């Protein structure tokens, strides 16, 4: 409960940072389906860095948020030199799981085809997801039709397990997510097995995360390592480790924030290694 209260108290600072954000890159909005939520944003860097493409999946508890609302995150990646696409997805409770995963899969496929049609090399694609987006990103990378397509996965405060002494906030969100659906199908931490692709992962997870809980990240990392999947678990910057602070707020601070410095170091140190096992 204390962690959740800390998270709620950081809200005004996040909104203040968002109001101060100065947009310098205007993304292109591209629909991939008929629903108004089924679109992706494409952010083109002014000065490209390497050929890694970032697919960023937003959070919001599966019931709120959109690429447009979190566009500052896509812009941050583009400012760092990375082509970034952000697929949107339908929200609960109107559209229970697996609608979100279906949309993220279709949106990512459409976005990569769009980039390839414009001559962009998509051999090295890193999926990044925050909170609920971390859960969806992990499912995208390690299960389903696009598993094995990606060069890396980065999860910030992802909800990889719902059954490990989950905080009240996560239990309530999961009820809205699943409806009458199968809870196992929505938990990447339960779905990893010997047949999962060996896509490297970086997990950034707070010890005092009152929304998702540290056990989510810790268990996912341990399970990945036991299956031979390269995995690294890092803590967010001390004092800025409430859930919203490190899964969203860090992008408003930039690389002076240690969480983002860790993320960039992981991507750049391993760019030579980031090659997928094959396209799907």
Q: pTM for this structure?
A: 0.93
Mean pLDDT of 198-203: 98
Residue 131 near residue 156, CB atoms below 8 Å: yes
The mean pLDDT value of the chain amounts to 90
Counting residues of the chain whose pLDDT is more than 70, the rounded percentage is 90
Phi, psi of 29 (to 5 degrees): -100, 125
The most distant pair of C-alpha atoms in the chain lies apart, rounded to whole Å, by 49
Q: Give helix 11-20 / helix 2-9 axis angle, nearest 10°.
A: 30
Q: Which residue has the higher pLDDT, 189 or 165?
A: 189
What residues are paired with 130 via a beta bridge?
Answer: 156
Residue 231 near residue 224, CB atoms below 8 Å: yes
- Whether the ω angle into residue 95 lies within 30 degrees of 0, i.e. cis, is no
Mean pLDDT of 36-55: 96
Find out if CATH 3.40.50.1820 is the number for domain 2-269.
yes
Residue 135 near residue 105, CB atoms below 8 Å: no
pLDDT at 119: 97
Q: How far apart are CA 203 and CA 209, in angstroms?
A: 14
Output the CA–CA distances (angstroms, integers) from residue 181 to 95, 98, 210, in the order listed: 11, 8, 25
In the predicted structure, residue 277 carries a pLDDT above the cut 50 = no
Q: In the chain, what are the domain boundaries? A: 2-269
pLDDT at 37: 98
Q: How far apart are CA 242 and CA 247, in angstroms?
A: 9
pLDDT at 186: 97
pLDDT at 34: 97
Residue 168 near residue 4, CB atoms below 8 Å: yes
- For the chain, helix, strand, coil in percent to 5 are 40, 15, 45
């Amino acid at each position: 409960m204390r962690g959740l209260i800390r998270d709620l108290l950081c809200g005004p600072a996040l909104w203040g940072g968002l109001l101060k954000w100065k947009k310098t890159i205007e993304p292109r909005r591209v629909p991939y389906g008929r629903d108004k939520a089924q679109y992706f944003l494409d952010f083109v860097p002014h000065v490209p860095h390497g050929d890694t493409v970032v697919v960023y999946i937003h959070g919001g508890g599966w019931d709120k948020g959109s690429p447009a609302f979190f566009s500052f995150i896509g812009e941050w990646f583009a400012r760092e030199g990375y082509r970034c696409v952000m697929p949107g997805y339908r929200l609960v409770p109107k559209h229970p799981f697996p609608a979100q995963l279906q949309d993220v899969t279709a949106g990512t496929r459409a976005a990569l085809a769009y980039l390839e049609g414009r001559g962009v090399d998509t051999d090295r694609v890193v999926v990044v997801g925050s909170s609920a987006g971390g859960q969806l990103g992990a499912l995208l990378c390690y299960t389903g039709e696009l598993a094995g397509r990606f060069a890396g996965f980065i999860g910030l405060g992802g909800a990889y397990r719902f059954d490990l002494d989950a905080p009240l906030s996560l239990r309530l969100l999961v009820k809205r997510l699943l409806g009458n659906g199968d809870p196992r199908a929505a938990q990447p931490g339960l779905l990893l097995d010997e047949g999962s692709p060996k896509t490297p992962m970086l997990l950034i997870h707070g010890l005092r995360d009152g929304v998702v809980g540290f056990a989510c990240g810790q268990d996912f990392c341990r399970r990945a390592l036991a299956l031979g999947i390269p995995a690294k678990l890092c803590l967010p910057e001390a004092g800025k480790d409430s859930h919203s602070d490190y899964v969203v707020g860090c992008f408003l601070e930039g690389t002076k924030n240690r969480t983002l410095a860790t993320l960039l170091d992981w991507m750049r140190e391993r760019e030579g290694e980031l090659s997928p096992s094959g396209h799907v």
